[in-house]
Every structure is written in C-alpha cells, then in structure tokens.
Structure 1
Amino acid sequence: MPELPEVEALATFLRERAVGRTIVRADVAAINAVKTFDPPLSALNGAWVTGASRHGKFLDLEVAGEAGLLHLIVHLSRAGWLHWRESLPPAPPRPGGKGPIALRLHLAPEFEQGPVAGFDLTEAGTQKRLAVYLVRDPLEVPGIAALGPDALTISRDELGRVLSTERAQLKKALTHQAVLAGVGNAYSDEILHAARLSPFKNTAKLTDDELTRLHEAMASILGDAVERSVGQKAATLKSEKRSGLRVHARAGLPCPVCGDTVREVSFADRAFQYCPTCQTEGRELADRRLSRLVK
C-alpha cells in the first residue's frame, strides 16, 4: 500500500508535471471507484490544475474551472497506483473492462503541438478498493474528515497525548488513520524496529523514554523515506520503498542491526515483521491472531 512518503512524492511529482495544464477529460473505466456524483466528473473538463497535496494517504489534485475550485482526491488503497503517461491514446479505456485501469485523466499539451499527457489510476487484484472523489472541500471525504494528526509533523507531546488515550496495541494504533495519519503496515514495522519496541506493546504503558524513541524513529524513518522518494518518477517509487526497508517483508532474513532472524506474525489478510532481539527481548511472538501481548 502506498503510504505517506510515496503519496508525498506523488504529490510533488504532479506539482512538477501537471500544475498549470488544462484537463481535457476524465475517462472512467471502473465506475465503482468513483464515490461522489456532485459535482460530476465532467466538471473537470476544461479546468486547469492549480496544485497537488496530501492528506494522510489521500492524494489531492486541486483544479479550478467553471465550477470553481475543486479537489480530485484519490485513495490508492492496498493495490492502487498512479501511472504517468507522456502520451495517452485518444480512445478511452473500456468501461467495466477486466483491465486494471480505474480512471484516466487527459491533460492538454504543454505546447500547442505536443502530445496529450496524463495519468492512469490502476488497481491490481480482485479487491477493488481504490477510491476517487471529486469534491469542493477535502473535508467532504469521510476518510479525510476522520484523520488524526499527520505522522510527519506531529510533536512528541501530541503523540504522547494521542497514544495515551488509545489503550491499544502499538502496531494497531500506529496504523489507525483516525489516530495517526499516513502510516501503514510497512512503515509501522520500520518505525517500531528503529524504536526497539514490540508491536504488541500497550500504548497506555509507554514510558517517557519509549515515547521519545518512538517519536524520533517516526521522524527519522518517514523523513528519510520522503527524502528518498521525492524526485523519483512515479514508476520507480515502489522499488525505492522496498530498497529502504529493514524488517518489513524480510521474514527469514537477518536483521541488519543485530543479525537475528526477522520473524513474522500473520493474520487473515496481512502480516507484520519484527526482530525478537531488537524489539521483544528475544521472545518470539506467536504467529496467530490471539497472541499474548509482550509487555
């Protein structure tokens, strides 16, 4: 799943490539991906792109046209992605087709004789969760209205206040977007490993030292990932993310810090990874949903 650093990089990419260009049209191939109807997507026709930003893991393309200022907001979910094309075919993708394309946005050429560029929003797999919204205010998107503080800018004290009221497993709290916006499965594994904290640690029982380590790890991991990602082409962001991971998706491999074997805990539809030596005082967590908490 694209998380805060990748979405931040996509927003930066679109600011460089799309801002100032006029939208020719939006083609919808997967109607179930579009979650709003007023204003209609046809309101994008003839509008120009004025900015691109991020709300947690939501990507926000700001446009201005006859309908006023609008926001084309995308949540890429677990298997969605944005593919930039310097030249798009004039024919729209087949609606309701079996291909991965959910929506295609055509942008007018930068120069009069240039090609029509733009991007495809695609989603792999059978769980179609990619979501597209066209709204006048980002807060009209329920997921944005419910977001907690942004993980990249939250202060140590605010992080402490937020977590102290949760009384939940640390891994769960870090990935709950209403608690903390922007962190998903991969970067939460990396943050907890850098902070030397168990995924099952109770948030209400964090000591001052543990809270400081967690906040510093969050700032370091996310800041480094943003620095590596921004400036990358959209096509290379996924591989850049994988190259920077120390424990996530590395079960069975040696921990780069201590050399212990990275372990995995699996659930119904996902898994997380951790290092016993670095994070759980050498104890291996049971690989089942009802694992006992490691204090």
Structure 2
Amino acid sequence: MPESPEVQALADELDSTLRGRTVGGVDVVEFRVTKTRGRPLTTLVGERVVGVTRHGKLFAIELDGSEFLVVSLGRHGWARWGSEAAGAEAAGAEATDAAGAASSAGTTDEAAAEPPPPTLVSFEFDGGPVLELTDAGGWVSLGCFVVDEPTEVAAIAKHGADPADPAFTRAHFDRAVAGRRKQIKAILQEQESLAGIGNAYSDEILFAARLSPVAHAATLADDELERLHEATIGTIRSAIEARSGIPIDRLKAAKVAAMQVHGRTGEPCPGGCGGEIRDFTFASTTAQYCPECQTGGEILPLKAG
C-alpha cells in the first residue's frame, strides 16, 4: 500500500512535470475508478494544472477551473508515465521468453518478471506526457474524485495530523495516541489519528522505538511515548527525504530496499540483538517485528492460511 513518503515523491514528480500543462484527453478504462459520477473525469479536458499536493496517502491535482482531481491509490494503486508501461511490457516479454527457454532446457526461472499492472485511467497532457493510473489488485481500490476542494473527499476530511508536517508537534501526537486503550500499531495506521502511515512504516516506527506492536497506548510510560513520538516523526521525515527525486517507477523498489524489519521475515535483526525477524497476524494482513527487541522474547501469533 502506498504510504506518505512514496506518495510525497510521486506528488513532487507530478508537480514538476505537469504544472502549467493542459489536460488534452482522458481515457477511463474502468468506470468504477470514477467516484464522482455527477462530475466525470472527462470534464477536466482543457483545464491547466496549477499544482500537485499530497494529503496523507492521497494526492490532489489542482486545475485552473477551480477544481481538483483527487486520487486515492487504495491498496494496490500507483501511477506511471505512458512510456514506462511500454518498457515494462517489453521487459516482461523478455523475461517470459527467457523463462521459456530455461524451461525447455530443463530448468526454471522463478525470477521471471510479472506483467505490469493494468491501466485503469489515463490522462493526456499537451507536450506529450501521458499519466497512467494503475491497480494491481484483484479488486478495484483506485479511486478518482473531481471536487471543488480536497476536503470534499471523506478520507481527507477525516485525516488526523500528519507527522511529515513541520507544524506537527508533541501535542498533536499526544492527542492521537496518549492514553488510548488500543494497540499502538492500529493507532499508527488509523488515518483519523495520524495521516499517511500504513503497515510497512508502522512496523519500521515500532522497531525504531523498540516497542511491541500489540501493546496498548494507555500502558506506555512517559519515556516510551517519547520514543514513539521521536520514532514516528523521524522515520516518516527521513523516508520522505530519502525518496525525494527518485523516479516514480523506482519508488516501490526503493521503499522495499530501505525497510529494516518490514518484509524481512527470517533475517537477522538489524539491531544486532541476535534475534530473528518474525511475522505476526495483524488485522487482515501480516506484519513484522523483532521479538528480542520489541516484545521481550514473546512470539506473537501467526494464524495459518
């Protein structure tokens, strides 16, 4: 799921590329992407881009017709330039050919590239760029809204404070977290409490703070709350800085490579404790943690299937 560091880098690249350009055409491949049926995406044709901003995990393209195109990437959505799709398809075809040759020779190639995700809607701009919005999931999680203000989108209207915001303070953090009878990992991912954090970065934040993901916020001592506050702003802001300037087709790979515990199941703890990163079941997904560093050696449950 895209989270604030990658969405910020995406918004920055879209802003630098599209600002001042005019929407020349819109092709909606999957009608379910359009969430404002009374204001179809085709109404944006002829309007000029004023700027692009991030709102939690969403981004908004401001147009000179006093409208915004707000994009919710959902669980599997992303963006690419039109030329990237052709390159990805060619790379996928080459990998498939190589895999076929290896198979005929009696070997297998498990690293064969998967085909690129389908484009659900594309936007043409004057001067050549084509912005494609994709979705790799088995169900449509990508959503596009044409609104007068970004806050007309319910997900944005309900956002809590954003740890990436320079104006974010310890008071904002305490209002979102302190004293709550809820697991801290759930609070970190709750957009109404803290905007922009998902499964991956909540794992990273909790590892940095050396806290159990299933501990309730109400049980945290003052020093633990302070560690969690510092880890939250430090992890998110440093990740935003690290992703800055990375082309959007490389952002997902950069995120994966930067993770210390998320997605590192079975690897040695990077904290040098001698422990091993483990999985545990959280809500409808799987997360990672170090038992030695975070739970006092307790192994959290992992449901089968």
TM-score (norm 2): 0.85
Give, in angstroms, the shift of residue 268 of structure 1: 6.8
Instruction: Provide the rounded CA distance (Å) in 2 between the counterparts of 1:42 and 1:223.
Output: 36
Residue in 1 aligned with 2:285?
270
Q: 2:121 aligns with which of 95, 98, 103?
A: 103
Q: Secondary structure at the match of 2:80?
A: strand
Does structure 2 conserve the Cα–Cα contact (< 8 Å) formed by 1:88 and 1:117? no
Q: Between Structure 1 and Structure 2, which shows a larger proportion of helix residues? A: 2
Alignment check: 8 A CA contact 1:38 1:134 kept? no
Cα distance in 2 for residues equivalent to 1:189 and 1:45: 41
Structure 2 CA distance for partners of 1:164 and 1:87, relative to 1, 3 Å: closer
Name the % identity. Answer: 41
Q: Shift of residue 78 of structure 1?
A: 1.4
Matches within 5 A, 1:48-197: 48-64=48-64, 68-85=65-82, 100-109=118-127, 116-153=128-165, 154-164=168-178, 166-197=180-211
**Alpha-carbon separation, structure 2, partners of 1:218 and 1:272:** 17
SS at match of 2:66: strand
What is the CA–CA distance in structure 2 between the aligned matches of 1:87 and 1:227, rounded to whole Å? 24
Between the two proteins, the alignment pairs up a number of residues equal to 271
What are the ranges of 5 or more consecutive residues in structure 2 without an aligned counterpart? 87-116
Partner letter of residue 262 of structure 2?
Answer: H
Query: Secondary structure, in 3 states, of the residue corresponding to 1:250?
Result: coil
Residues 95-144 of structure 1: per-residue CA shift (max 9 Å, x gap): xxxx71111010000xxxxxx21210000131211111111111110111
Q: Is the 8 A contact 1:102 1:123 kept in 2?
A: yes
Distance 1:48 1:165 in 2: 47
Give deviations 1:211-238, integer Å, cap 9, x for gaps. Answer: 1111111121111111111101110000
Deviation at 1:280, TM superposition (A): 0.8
TM-score (norm 1): 0.87
Query: Does the C-alpha gap of structure 1 residues 256 and 61 become closer, same or farther in structure 2, counting only changes over 3 Å?
Result: same
User: Counterpart of 1:57 in structure 2: which amino acid?
Assistant: K
What letter is aligned with 2:232? M
RMSD: 1.8
Q: Give the stretch that moved more between structures: 216-225 or 233-242.
A: 216-225
SS of the counterpart of 2:206? helix
Native 8 Å contact 2:178 2:218 kept in 1:
yes
1:223 is aligned with what amino acid? R
Query: 1:25 aligned to 2:43?
Result: no
The residue that corresponds to 1:212 in the other structure is 226
For residues 22 and 208 of structure 2, what CA distance do their matches in structure 1 show?
Answer: 44
Q: Bigger CA drift: 40-49 or 78-87?
A: 78-87
* Gap regions ≥5 residues in structure 1: 90-98, 110-115, 290-295
Distance in 2 (alpha carbons) for counterparts of 1:137 and 1:4 = 20
Give the secondary-structure state (helix, strand or coil) at the position aligned to 1:103: strand
- What is the CA-CA distance between 1:38 and the residue it aligns to? 3.4
Residues 3, 57 of structure 2: 8 Å contact kept: yes
Provide the rounded CA distance (Å) in 1 between the counterparts of 2:85 and 2:178: 50
In structure 1, what is the Cα distance between the partners aligned to 2:59 and 2:180? 27
CA contact (8 A) 2:179 2:219 kept: no
CA shift, 1:86, in A, is: 5.4
